A and B are shown apart, each in its own frame.
Chain A
Amino acid sequence: MTGLLLLTGGILVIAVFALVYRILSLIDIAKGKQGKPVGTTSNAVNSFLFIVFFFVGFGLLFWYSGKASENFLPESASEHGKLTDKLFWITTGITFVVFFLTHVILFLTPYFFRYRENRSAYWWPDNTKLEVAWTVLPAIVLTVLVLTGWWAWRDITAPAPDDSLQVEIVGKQFNWMVRYGGKDGKIGKYDYRKIDATNQLGMDFAADKSNFDDFTPREIHLPKGKSVLLKIRARDVLHSVFMPHFRVKMDAVPGMPTSFWFTPTKTTEEMRKELNDPNFNYELACTEICGQGHFAMRMVIVVSEPEEFEKWYASQEPWAKQNADYIASLNLENSKELASLFNQK
Chain B
Amino acid sequence: MATVNIDLHKSVGEHAHQDEHHHDEHHHENFITKYIFTEDHKMIAKQFLLTGIFWAIIGGILSVIFRLQLGFPDANLEFLRPVLGDWITTQGKLDQNFYLALVTMHGTIMVFFVLTAGLSGTFSNFLIPLQIGARDMASGFMNMLSYWFFFLSSVVMFISLFIETGPASGGWVVYPPLSALPQAMPGSGLGMTLWLVSMSLFIVSSLLGGINYIATVINLRTNGMSFSKLPLTIWAFFLTAVLGLLSFPVLFAAALLLIFDRSFGTSFYLSEIYINGEPLHNMGGSPVLYQHLFWFLGHPEVYIVMLPGLGITSEIIATNARKPIFGYRAMVGSLLAIAFLAFIVWAHHMFVSGMNPFLGTIFMFLTLIIAVPSAVKVFNYLATLWRGNIVFTPAMLFSIGLVSFFISGGVTGIALGNSAIDIQLHDTYYVVAHFHLVMGSASFFGMLAGIYHWFPKMFGRMMNEKLGYVHFWITFIGVYMVFFPMHYLGIAGFPRRYYSWTNFNAFDSFSDLNAFISTAAIITLSAQLIFLFNFFYSMFRGRLAPANPWRSNTLEWTTPRFPGHGNWPGKIPTVYRWPYDYSKPGAKEDFIPQTVPFSATPESNLPHENELIALEKEFAN
A residues with a Cβ closer than 8 A to B are 2, 13-14, 17-18, 20-21, 24-25, 29, 34-39, 42-43, 45-47, 49-50, 53, 57, 61, 64-65, 68, 71-74, 81, 83-84, 87-88, 91-92, 94-96, 98-99, 102-103, 105-107, 109-110, 113-116, 119-127, 130-131, 134-135, 138-139, 142, 145-146, 149-150, 152-154, 156-157, 173, 192-193, 195, 197, 202, 232, 235-238, 240, 242, 244-245, 247-251, 253-256, 258, 279-281, 283, 285-296, 298
Contact = CB atoms under 8 A, between A and B. Distances in A.
A288 B397 contact: no
B135 to A, nearest CB: 30
Nearest to B289: A256
A21 B184 contact: no
A197 B274 CA distance: 11
Contacts of A251: 352-354
Contacts of A73: 424, 491-493
Contacts of A84: 420-421, 423-424
A156 B590 CA distance: 58
Nearest to B489: A71
B484 A61 contact: yes
A245 B537 CA distance: 54
B414 A95 contact: yes
Given A138-B371, A192-B279, A53 B360 contact: no
Given A121-B583, A122-B388, A258-B354, A106 B400 contact: yes
B411 A123 contact: no
Contacts of A197: 277
17 contacts: A14-B533, A24-B466, A65-B488, A68-B513, A91-B421, A92-B415, A99-B411, A102-B379, A103-B407, A110-B392, A113-B388, A116-B389, A130-B383, A255-B287, A294-B497, A295-B495, A296-B503
Contacts of A126: 326-330
A286 to B, nearest CB: 7
Contacts of B97: 291-292
A60 B126 CA distance: 41
Contacts of B464: 21, 24-25
A258 to B, nearest CB: 4
A115 B391 contact: yes
Interface residues of B, number: 136
Given A110-B390, A113-B388, A149-B418, A294 B499 contact: yes
Contacts of B96: 292-293, 295
A192 B499 CA distance: 30
Point out which of B171, B360, B390, B530 has the most chain A C-beta atoms below 10 A from its C-beta: B390
B184 A237 contact: yes
B152 interface: no
B527 to A, nearest CB: 12
Given A17-B530, A240-B427, 6 more contacts: A102-B379, A142-B368, A193-B279, A249-B424, A291-B178, A298-B503
Contacts of B88: none
Contact of B400 (A50, A98, A115, A146): A50
A294 B467 CA distance: 43
A142 B184 CA distance: 42
B580 A125 contact: yes
Interface stretch (B143-151, B154-162, B504-512): B504-512
B493 A35 contact: no
Interface of B: 1, 4-5, 7-8, 12, 82, 96-97, 100, 170-171, 175, 177-178, 181, 184-185, 270-275, 277, 279, 283-288, 321-330, 352-354, 357, 360-361, 364-365, 368-369, 371-372, 375-376, 378-380, 382-383, 385-393, 397, 400, 403-404, 407-408, 411-412, 414-415, 418-421, 423-428, 464-467, 469, 473, 476-477, 480, 484-485, 488, 491-493, 495-501, 503-507, 509-510, 513, 529-530, 533-534, 537, 541, 543, 546, 550-551, 580, 582-585, 590
Contact of B506 (A110, A150, A283): A283
Nearest to A49: B473
A239 to B, nearest CB: 10
Contacts of B428: 287
Contact of A36 (B1, B7, B328): B1
Nearest to B495: A287
Contact of A289 (B100, B404, B585): B100
Nearest to B491: A72
Contact of A17 (B357, B477, B537): B537
A116 B465 CA distance: 18
Given A283-B504, A295-B499, A124 B323 contact: yes
Contacts of B324: 123-125
B142 to A, nearest CB: 37
B391 to A, nearest CB: 4
Contacts of B4: 34-35
B583 A122 contact: yes
A134 B375 contact: yes
A49 to B, nearest CB: 7
A280 B506 CA distance: 9
A57 B580 contact: no
A263 to B, nearest CB: 15
Contacts of A43: 390-392
A116 B611 CA distance: 34
Contacts of B178: 237-238, 289-291
Contacts of B469: 42, 45-46
B323 A123 contact: yes
Contacts of A232: 354
Contacts of B537: 17-18, 21
A125 B375 CA distance: 18
A73 B428 CA distance: 12
Question: Which 7 A-B residue pairings sit nearest by Cβ, starting from the closest?
Answer: A255-B271, A157-B357, A35-B4, A95-B411, A258-B354, A152-B420, A122-B387
